[in-house]
């Protein structure tokens, strides 16, 4: 997937600063006096967040702001994401747009940004509302999809596809992660009134493709009658698809994923996956940067900005 670049070539951080900040797309202070907005995503090893970055870049160019995009190497590295955000607060960026790796873990750095007068917009994954209130923190807005509804759409489709009878394996994301938990709740609520839809295994694969492969390989060995799967992200679903092929069971297990990554869409088109739930990460990135720029001009955003979902089948 191609990555677009801002019209003005931006400079790269010095090596000493890079060492503490994890993977980054670009770092932009160019001496122009334009506002600096930072987008911190969970990882840049996932096409979902690359699309989010592209949407953010387009919006930054149009809004006339400098853009920094940074991320940890892995989605599970919550601590590194917190370090990245703390470094950006110390550098006194003008606004932060964050896709939290941990809904509760993000709260202390949101509070630090509040104290520094830096507005924080949250995209894709919500900050834990109770923890944020207890800490006295606040965010300017949440921009994202209804993950519960997406999980419900996936579950309703699988019930129909399987005729109300299936032995289902579930690949979860990171335990306790708001995005994955909401998708799982929606999925389970969608199938609960269909007694023939039985979840025989539900295990974390931490949003990662290789873990999707390993976890589902183990599930197939422990539960050889499994005939359907819901994965809370396409990366895990694609890993499971590889495990299914390696076991010689291609076409015998119905797979529903989430995120509609290009590779997952292609798998749906050729019949290797039954469906995936599409979000719009590019719009999340675009809207996040647009509103960051508007906030810096004194505008007040709505508390929530919804990005629609769609079933791809």
Per-residue pLDDT at 177: 86
Each residue of 59-106: pLDDT tens digit?
999 999 999 999 999 998 999 999 999 999 999 999 999 999 999 999
Mean pLDDT (whole number) for 20-43: 70
Mean pLDDT (whole number) for 151-177: 96
Per-residue pLDDT at 175: 87
Q: Does the structure show a pLDDT above 90 at 26?
A: no
Per-residue pLDDT at 129: 95
Domain locations in the chain? 15-145+281-307, 147-278
Q: In which region does residue 230 sit, left (phi positive, over 0), alpha (psi from -120 to 50) or beta (all else)?
A: beta
Per-residue pLDDT at 125: 95
Instruction: Give the sheet arrangement for strand 166-172, strand by strand.
Output: 197-204, 166-172, 228-231, 254-259, 275-278, 310-312
- With tokens 């890993």, the residue in question is 239
Q: Does the structure show a pLDDT above 80 at 32?
A: no
Each residue of 247-271: pLDDT tens digit?
999 999 999 999 999 999 999 999 9
Q: Does the structure show a pLDDT above 50 at 238?
A: yes
Pick the closest to residue 274 from 234, 226, 304 (CA basis).
234
Rounded to whole angstroms, how far apart are CA atoms 228 and 226?
A: 6
What CATH number was assigned to the domain covering residues 147-278? 3.40.50.2300
Fold equal for 15-145+281-307 and 147-278 = yes
Q: Does the structure show a pLDDT above 50 at 19?
A: no
Q: Does the structure show a pLDDT above 60 at 272?
A: yes
Each residue of 120-143: pLDDT tens digit?
999 999 999 999 999 999 999 999
269 close to 40: Cβ distance less than 8 angstroms: no
Residue 252 or residue 11, greater confidence: 252
CATH topology of domain 15-145+281-307: Rossmann fold (3.40.50)
């Amino acid at each position: 997937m191609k990555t677009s670049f801002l019209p003005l070539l931006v400079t790269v951080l010095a090596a000493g600063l890079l060492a503490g900040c994890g993977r980054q797309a670009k770092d932009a202070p160019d001496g122009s006096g334009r506002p600096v907005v930072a987008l911190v995503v969970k990882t840049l090893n996932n096409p979902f967040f690359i699309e989010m970055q592209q949407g953010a870049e387009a919006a930054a160019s149009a809004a006339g702001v400098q853009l920094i995009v940074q991320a940890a190497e892995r989605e599970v590295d919550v601590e590194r994401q917190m370090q990245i955000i703390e470094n950006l607060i110390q550098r006194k960026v003008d606004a932060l747009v964050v896709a939290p790796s941990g809904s509760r873990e993000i709260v202390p750095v949101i509070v630090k940004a509040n104290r520094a007068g830096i507005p924080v917009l949250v995209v894709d994954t919500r900050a834990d509302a109770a923890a944020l209130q207890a800490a006295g923190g606040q965010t300017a807005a949440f921009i994202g999809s209804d993950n519960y509804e997406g999980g419900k759409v996936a579950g309703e489709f699988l019930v129909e596809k399987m005729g109300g009878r299936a032995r289902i394996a579930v690949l979860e994301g990171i335990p306790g992660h708001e995005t994955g938990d909401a998708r799982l709740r929606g999925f389970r609520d969608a199938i609960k009134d269909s007694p023939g839809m039985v979840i025989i295994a539900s295990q974390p694969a931490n949003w990662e493709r290789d873990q999707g492969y390993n976890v589902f390989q183990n599930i197939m060995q422990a539960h050889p009658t499994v005939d359907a799967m819901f994965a809370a992200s396409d990366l895990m679903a694609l890993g499971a698809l590889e495990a299914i092929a390696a076991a010689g069971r291609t076409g015998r297990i119905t797979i529903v994923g989430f995120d509609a990554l290009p590779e997952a869409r292609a798998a749906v088109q050729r019949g290797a996956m039954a469906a995936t739930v599409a979000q719009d990460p590019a719009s999340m990135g675009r809207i996040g940067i647009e509103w960051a720029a508007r906030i810096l001009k004194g505008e007040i955003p709505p508390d929530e900005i919804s990005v629609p979902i769609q079933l791809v089948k």
